[in-house]
Structure 1
Amino acid sequence: MRVQARDLAAREEKLEALQKKLTESVGALVTGEDWKRALEFAAKFRGRSFGNTMLIAVQHYAAFQQGRVPEPMPTYVAGFKQWLSLNRAVMKGQSGYAILAPVTARFASSNPSDPDSWRRLARGEKPGFGEAVRSKLVGLKPAHVWDISQTDGEPIPEPPAPTLLQGQAPEGLWDGLADQITAQGFELRLVSNAKAIGGANGLTDYMTREVSVRMDMDDAAQVKTLAHELLTAPTGVP
């Protein structure tokens, strides 16, 4: 029991330290440009929470300043066993980046519609006959990940780079899509290149109610981008 208590206290201490580091890293984002860089970085790691991407970024930059990694921004980040499954291993002397990992537990109920009927299953316990089972987040625990620059082994296959459509678009399709956008009260803007809209092919701004499409692409790519801006919103309109 004393060992378990010490382990629990150590975990709580690590969680408090991570929460403090997270608060400090977010608090350091004081300018619009800082937030822009942070959001661009977080967008590269959509499988992780914004908090964990901030923790990774702060710790990786510290490793860069110490000369342990070659670049200030991380690229591919994974856990120890995940790197092994990719035939790569963490290099000796490389410390992992602490993040907040979810802790889940299984719950069972013979009457799922009653919220008070769910009971937590012990490890290895099987639900009773006819009971429904669901998993639920019950807490957080410290975990560690490493950037690819902290590992060596087989190269990681690069995903194929997207290519822009080329050629002409079907006649009248641009006008039809543009009419649907303006009918919803959005102004259609044509910009000279991707730099004008943060490197994207198209952009919908809900604050100014503007849809922007870069014009340095073939007609087919412009129409495809316009359709994307129209159809990716939850309601089917920008």
Structure 2
Amino acid sequence: MRHTTLLCAAAIASMPLAASADEPLAAFDVAEDLSRFVFASAPVFEDGMPAYGNAFVTQGYIYPAGTLDGGVEGTLPDGEPAFPDLVIGEWTCDGYFVGDGMRTETGAIVMTRQVYRFNDGDLLISHGAELADPGFVVTRAVTGGTGDYAGAPAEMHQVMLGMSDGYGVRLQIELGDGPEPTYPSEEDHTEWDSGFPVGPVLPNASLQTG
């Protein structure tokens, strides 16, 4: 009986050690679900779109790194994940529009907090600017984490892959030392500005808060 008890105690004691052996993801992708994007009723432009200082919140899906390579969409038009079996967590983003609000064509369009809640319950939190320009690297501060992310590096690097009509932004995130930040020039902006919507696009006006 004593021998069995000792074996059980040893097995239980080893469980936390096994769990701590898990490593945080070094990179992952995010796809916004635009049906969950809402913004404040003021300040707004004449057309009702968010102006400088407008507060908003949005959510989406976390996928393994590389899922959204090549312009792949991660969200269906109805807001459901395009690859439900690959979803590894939920992304929540809140913040404020800066620059020229929704009309920002290049540079920082929002200052945000992003919370990445993984399916196993672990959390990762970052703060920083987000660019209106796809394809450029922006550095964000990692300001918190739990579980496997309790000891996460102090910074992460984000690239907006782009945004498609009605589907929201697609992001790639890399933790720790990554590529140097890059910033768009007027020349770069001219190259990519070819009719795609700039900033989050609302499918209908009912998403505004009262």
TM class by shorter chain equals under 0.3
| Structure whose CA Rg is larger | 1
Higher relative strand content: 2
TM-score by length of 1: 0.20
Higher relative helix content: 1
TM-score by length of 2: 0.22
